Structure 1
Amino acid sequence: MDIKVIEKIKKLLALSESSNENEAQLSLLKAQELLVKHKLSLKEVKEFKVYNSEIKEKRSNVSFTKAKWKARLGRLIAENFGCYMYYKTHRTQTITFFGREEDIIICTIVLEYAIDSINSKVRRLRYQYSKDGYSTRGVENDYALGFISGLAEKFEEQKRKNQEWGLILVKDKEVTEAHENIKFKGSINTSTKFQGHDGAYYEGQDDGKQFSISDKIAEEQTEEQLGLA
């Protein structure tokens, strides 16, 4: 069994997360093509993950001090892509994923792309708010909270529409047991409250529902850039 082929199929399945049927089709069809070509089943792909893929932790490039919404976003992504999330602390909190190696790759791709999307939109909102004479204090926080809420809805919709896909991404027993054996020191307060920008929140919520990693695939145009080849 070719490990690289299995990993590519798993990534394609994970990246076909768009609730838009047309957007999801490209990744799903590619995964299906590889399954047929190599005479594999989805069950074999799932079982391969349990026995052959290394369980590890990996720090992302995402750190925060005041932007605590990043913690909520990271945890949501980890929960929906088969991983756990915690922090490495040294002046700032660095989001760290724990799970199967290929699932960590997906979590990292989705987290970094989501944050890029949030930051890009927040820059435009701040410009518009300033231009109109409104305070921008708390705009980033409220837009991000709305985005996370919309993304959570999107994930739940995906699970309802594609139960088999959800099974592939669930945490397996070995990952759960390995995580339970980690000894953590203390805890970090990552709670953050709505600051009152209704417009930013609801705009974020709409964008979260529409968020798709497929956009990144189309933008970069090559599988190599996502580590799929």
Structure 2
Amino acid sequence: MDIEKKIRKLLALSESPNEFEAQAALLKARQLMAEYKLTEAELHEGNKKVKTIKTSISCTKQTNFWIFTLSTVISENYCCQAVHERAKHSKTYFIGFVGLEEDVSICVNIFTYAVDCVLTQIQNLKHTYCNLSLGAQKNNQWIWSRFL
């Protein structure tokens, strides 16, 4: 008998109304899982489907190149694979993710949030430094006008 199938049956038996039978089945299932180094997630992966989700986030190799790296890092940490897809004769890449349904949806949410945070911070920094440079130019003009 396949060990994964046996463990699944023991886990199903652990839902038994008989308390002692359920406890014994759960202990045996945990023992076999430890022995064969299996997790519950690995046992239930057969029931899940692989899904591909494309985001609306795009970038090029000249602008926002950091998005490629960010998508790769996030996908690796959420058990997915980042996909960079571009249309024919276009320089724009669209980012997507491939993986199990739950993992991909979490990955897309985290990625979208991270990109939004970075882009917002970039806009704030541009606004701050633009105002500083305008202020410096005005101050220089004021200083030079006093001497002329």
Query: Please, what TM-score do these two structures have when normalized by structure 2?
Result: 0.57
Give the counterpart letter for 2:56 in structure 1.
Answer: N
Does residue 129 (structure 1) correspond to residue 129 (structure 2)? The answer is: yes
1:38-49 alignment, distance < 5 Å: 43-48=39-44
Partner of residue 68 from structure 2, selected from 59, 67, 71: 71
1:207-218 alignment, distance < 5 Å: none
Which blocks of at least 5 consecutive residues in structure 1 are unaligned? 1-38, 135-229
Matched residue SS, 2:133: coil
C-alpha distance in structure 2 between counterparts of 1:99 and 1:45, whole Å: 14
C-alpha distance in structure 1 between counterparts of 2:98 and 2:84, whole Å: 10
Give the counterpart letter for 1:75 in structure 2.
Answer: T
Give 1:52 shift. 1.1
* % same residue: 27
Give the counterpart letter for 1:125 in structure 2.
Answer: L
C-alpha distance in structure 1 between counterparts of 2:42 and 2:74, whole Å: 19
Which blocks of at least 5 consecutive residues in structure 2 are unaligned? 1-25, 31-38, 135-148
Give 1:45 shift. 3.7
Q: Which has the larger radius of gyration?
A: 2
Give 1:46 shift. 4.2
Give 1:110 shift. 0.2
Give 1:58 shift. 1.8
1:35-184 alignment, distance < 5 Å: 43-48=39-44, 50-65=45-60, 66-90=63-87, 91=90, 92-133=92-133
Matched residue SS, 1:132: helix
Query: Please, what TM-score do these two structures have when normalized by structure 1?
Result: 0.38
Moved over 6 A (4+): none
Q: How many residues matched? A: 94
